[in-house]
Amino acid sequence: MTVVQAPRRDDRTPAVPPRPTFRQRLSKWDVKFSPYVYIAPFFVVFGLVGLFPLLYTAYVSLYDWEIGDDEPPFVGFDNYVQLFGDGQFWNAVGNTLSIFVLSSGPQVVIAVLLAALLNTRLRGPTGWRIGILLPYAASLVAIGIIFANLFGNQYGLLNSILEMFGIDRIDWQAGTLSSHVAIATMVNWRWTGYNALIVLAAMQAIPKEINEAAVVDGAGPVRRFISVTLPLLRPTLIFVVITSTIGGLQIFTEPKLFDVGQGSNNGGSSNQFQTVTLYMYQQGFENFDLGYASAIAWVLFLLIVVIALVNFLITRRLAATEGGRR
Amino acid sequence: MTLTTSRPAPAARPKVAKLGRPNFFVYATLAVFVLGSLFPFYWSFLVASRDSGMLTERVPPLLPGGNFFANAVEVFDSVAFWKSMGNSILVATSVTLTTVLFSSLAGFAFAKLRFRGRDPLFVFIVVTLAVPTQLGVIPLFIAMSELGWAGGLQAVIVPNLVTAFGVFWMRQYTVDAVPYELVEAARVDGCSMIRIFWHVCLPAVRPAAAVLAMFTFMTSWNDFLWPLIVLDAGNPTVQLALEQLQSGYYTNYSLVLAGTTLATIPILIVFLLLGRQIVAGIMQGAVKG
């Protein structure tokens, strides 16, 4: 009763005080605007470091923009035209793709197999998982330096081992393929365990009944893995492949540190392991040609989008063999 | 008592019980992988604890020598290692604190509050996950120069105050962890929004916040490209100091690897202490993502 009466009393005297108190109005504003305040920091930061740079990179790429220039001349698409005729750029693209294939391919395959091993009923499962994940904690720079040392020509451990077995030393830095293999090894060492855990999580989410049903149907472990587990892992595999594509195509730290000493932005004496990001860094912050570097950044961005898409389609196909009910 | 009653269960389906029992081969393979994980760390310490003459020996020694402290002292003499350590701690700590705070706030708003444009805005955030931030370094550098921040630590801190991943992660967790009823009840009691966040939401999402904090700290500690671009050589982070050690004209590997060991020890300790949570966090994120 009182509940019904209360608003009526308000209606009769609209102008006189029992109107919302300051506290109540404050509370209303609180409900209305708080959410926007809470999400604002992200949008401010993203505007500053995500959206603005992406657009501004496009803008800068149309100028002959050098660090310290007050009025850089507008050159239109000249930077892009020059870029498409730039042998060193295409060489960098080739290196990046080569290193990417050498790292992502084995990485995903080994991660899936490793996850299968971890998915058994191990004693001390957490201990094994931590052990596998250990490289993830390492600093990229430290790892770059350590591996550059391991792969060193004269004093590297790997060459010492090769020699012990009577095999000739390999000048890892000097060769194109050998340097790519060495850099891919660093990448794989760091990320395989991490990806294995992600795949493992997806494996554990597969209902036991499905596997049991397959056992009843007489499927062996290998058959079960191919026909049951893999198709159900598809979304996770797509995720792993896409993230490793985005990371792999931007690779920078490893090739930069693989070349000991001065001129490390060259990626080796004949640019044999200079990646696109390394080339961009060299153009922008060694040669101070920010316009050209921005053009490189944009082409790299498009390249990443295209390759991520292609990978997405391939992975969906590959994992879509029979039983692809999901 | 309970043991005896539960025993028949596995016996009832012996075939399936056999499914996942690992054999020696499984353990051996995993052991090889773990040793492989450990080896570069060990090698780094091995070289760091001897003099650089070790590397010229045909058969390298297997056990550490006693030179580590001498090499470490030399590291501190040759680059601004203490300063870089302090810088890294300052940067990583502030980035971690703000990322966790802002991500939890935004996650709370997206998960539990109703406001216009909530869903499209959240989709937008998820889409931005795909934009590689590395590619924005050039305009970001220009912007930092204009602001006069280049060379200062704020240039490394401010762009990382909050991340799309953090918002996404906290939102996913908050959806399940905080019941609507609790938020409503607090509102009826006259709680302000920020108090609801602080006293109702935050305690409930603490596990996810802890995982996010660890990830953010490690990522920030290990960042290299952006600090390399924007910081001065005289004001480095640990990663930059390491790079300076290595890129001299003459590379003394014992010294360089003493540096990498010193820089790795803190993060390795954190990792080993919190490894269980980090592993749980990665696996949890994978299922939800």
pLDDT digits 0-9 by tens, A178-226: 899 999 999 999 999 999 999 998 888 888 888 888 888 888 888 888 8
Answer yes or no: do B138 and A304 touch at CB < 8 A: no
B99 pLDDT band (50/70/90 cuts)? very high
What single-letter DSSP state applies at residue B136? G
Instruction: Choose from B102, B128, B137, B271 for mutation: most chain A CBs within 10 A.
Output: B137
Instruction: Choose from A22, A24, A39 for mutation: most chain B CBs within 10 A.
Output: A39
Tens of pLDDT, residue by residue over B122-149, are 988 888 877 777 778 888 888 888 888 8
CA dihedral A21, A27, A32, A36 (to 10 degrees): 140
Tell me the shortest Cα–Cα distance from A16 to chain B, in angstroms: 24
Tell me the shortest Cα–Cα distance from B61 to chain A, in angstroms: 11
Cβ neighbours of B192 (radius 10 Å): 15
Strand partners, A63: A74
Tell me the shortest Cα–Cα distance from B138 to chain A, in angstroms: 7
ipTM of this complex prediction, to 2 decimal places: 0.79
- Nearest residue to B72 via CA among B95, B110, B91, B44: B44
- Nearest residue to B232 via CA among B158, B157, B153, B134: B153
Answer yes or no: do A39 and B105 touch at CB < 8 A: yes
Name the residue of chain B whose CA is nearest to A151's CA.
Answer: B40
Answer yes or no: do B279 and A133 touch at CB < 8 A: yes
Nearest to B37 among A131, A152, A250 (CB): A131
For chain A, percent of residues with pLDDT exceeding 90: 16
Task: Quickly tell me which residue has 């004001």 as its tokens.
Answer: B235
Q: Which residue has the higher pLDDT, A258 or A261?
A: A258
Residue B37 has pLDDT above 70, yes or no: yes
Answer yes or no: do A139 and B284 touch at CB < 8 A: no
Answer yes or no: do A250 and B135 touch at CB < 8 A: yes
Cβ neighbours of A23 (radius 10 Å): 9
- Nearest residue to A151 via CA among A268, A258, A263: A258
Residue B11 has pLDDT above 90, yes or no: no
Tell me the shortest Cα–Cα distance from A165 to chain B, in angstroms: 12
User: Which chain B residues are closer than 8 Å to A46 by Cβ?
Assistant: 125, 128, 164
Average pLDDT in chain B: 81
Q: What is the pLDDT of residue B4?
A: 41
A114 pLDDT band (50/70/90 cuts)? very high
- Chains A and B form CB pairs within 8 A to the count of 291
| Over residues B212-220, mean pLDDT | 88
Q: What is the pLDDT of residue B100?
A: 95
Query: Buried b / exposed e across B113-141, counting CB within 10 Å, b at 16+?
Result: bebeebeebbeebeebeebbbbbbbbbbb
User: Which chain A residues are closer than 8 Å to B214 by Cβ?
Assistant: none
Answer yes or no: do A139 and B239 touch at CB < 8 A: yes
Range with lowest mean pLDDT among A66-75, A135-144, A153-162: A66-75
Nearest to A139 among B249, B267, B276 (CB): B267
Residue B31 has pLDDT above 90, yes or no: yes
Answer yes or no: do B284 and A264 touch at CB < 8 A: no
Residue A322 has pLDDT above 70, yes or no: no
Residue A110 has pLDDT above 90, yes or no: yes
Q: Which residue has the higher pLDDT, B71 or A45?
A: A45
Residue B246 has pLDDT above 50, yes or no: yes
Strand partners, A66: A289
Nearest to A36 among B36, B115, B187 (CB): B115
Average pLDDT in chain A: 82
Nearest to B40 among A131, A147, A197 (CB): A147
Answer yes or no: do B253 and A149 touch at CB < 8 A: yes
B286 pLDDT band (50/70/90 cuts)? low
Answer yes or no: do A198 and B286 touch at CB < 8 A: yes
User: Which chain A residues are closer than 8 Å to B251 by Cβ?
Assistant: 260-261
Range with lowest mean pLDDT among A65-69, B82-86, B268-272: A65-69
CA distance readout (Å), A161 to A18, A101, A183: 88, 26, 19
How buried is residue A116: exposed, middle or buried, by Cβ count under 10 Å (0-12/13-18/19+)?
A: middle
